[in-house]
Amino acid sequence: MDVNLTCNLRYHNKVALVTGGSKGIGEGTVRVFVRNGAKVAFCARGEEAGKKLESEVNQLGPGECFFIKCDVQKEDDIKRTIQSTIDKFGQLDCLINNAGWHPPEQVIDDISVDDLKSLLNFNLINYFAFAKYSLPHLRKTKGNIINMSSLVAKLGQSHAIPYVCTKGAIDAFSRALAIDEAKHGVRVNTVSPGNIWTPLWDSLARQSSNPEAMVEGGRDAQLNGRFGSIEESGQVCLFLAAEATFTTGIDFLLSGGAELNYGRKSQMVERTNIYD
């Protein structure tokens, strides 16, 4: 490879593992890291989508990627995924915990205890397990963990109690882990996306009572009046992995400013005069 090109690659010959990497934010992250010279293992349940992305990205380079079929709700699958990454690339420098799910709109009356337990297992426990079994390898490389949280862990979200609970727990888990792993030289940070246009966002909008209004509201929540992209999400992860070496325990809001200027909430309650 040309020496000048190598010097411009921000994660050249580093190894990253991306969970939920076949589509959405995970896909954007895989693409950005490979474009910057990384060796990327990524996992997902959908084998067809995973193999398709692997083939496409490997043709573009200059890094490379490797798909592993994995159900992140199964501990044995998680262990196998990490070991497959080590077997393939020999080391691990960055774990990006991204796999998760956002249920359709629901209120507490319609949410069972088992529903909450199931989503906690899907969205939170898999992060814990991937971190636990990756850390022996990350400690060797003084690597880092990036946990994908959400802006709604800070702001709340209507009709999404289980999802918000899981993302709030990810924030707390990440801060605690950052403290414990500092002595090993492992950094732990979170990224909290706001409205990033993904297949999941599209699916949730289509399931709502007014898809067009939901998309319009999601777009208009940002100061710049647009959704973020999956590749912009990947760029933030790359920055945290490659350049932000004096950063641990922080939460990067990838929000387009959606949390600023109080937001727009008047549609949720009857308007009142504050002087009454």
Q: At what angle do helices 126-141 and 161-181 cross, to 10 degrees?
A: 20
Q: Examine the residue annotation and report whether 163 is marked as an active-site residue of this protein.
A: yes
Amino acid at position 245, single letter: T
3-state secondary structure 12-62: CCCEEEEECCCCHHHHHHHHHHHHCCCEEEEEECCHHHHHHHHHHHHHHCC
Diameter of the chain measured on Cα atoms: 72
Task: Identify the active-site residue in 11, 127, 133, 163.
Answer: 163
Which of helix, strand or coil describes residue 92?
coil
HSE-CB for 81 with a 13 A CA cutoff: 33
Burial pattern 1-37, b for ≥16 Cβ within 10 A else e, equals eeeeeeeebbbbebbbbbbbbbbbbbbbbbbbbbbbb
What's the rounded Cα separation, in Å, for the pair 169 and 117?
A: 13
**Rounded Cα distance, 87 and 81, in Å:** 10
Q: Which residues contact 208 (CB under 8 A, 6 or more apart)?
A: 104, 105, 214
HSE (CB half, 13 Å, CA atoms) of 87? Answer: 8
Distance CA 154, CA 18 (A): 24
With beta carbons less than 8 A apart as the criterion, state whether 82 and 17 touch: yes
Query: What is the rounded CA–CA span in Å between residue 68 and residue 81?
Result: 6
Known catalytic residues are 163
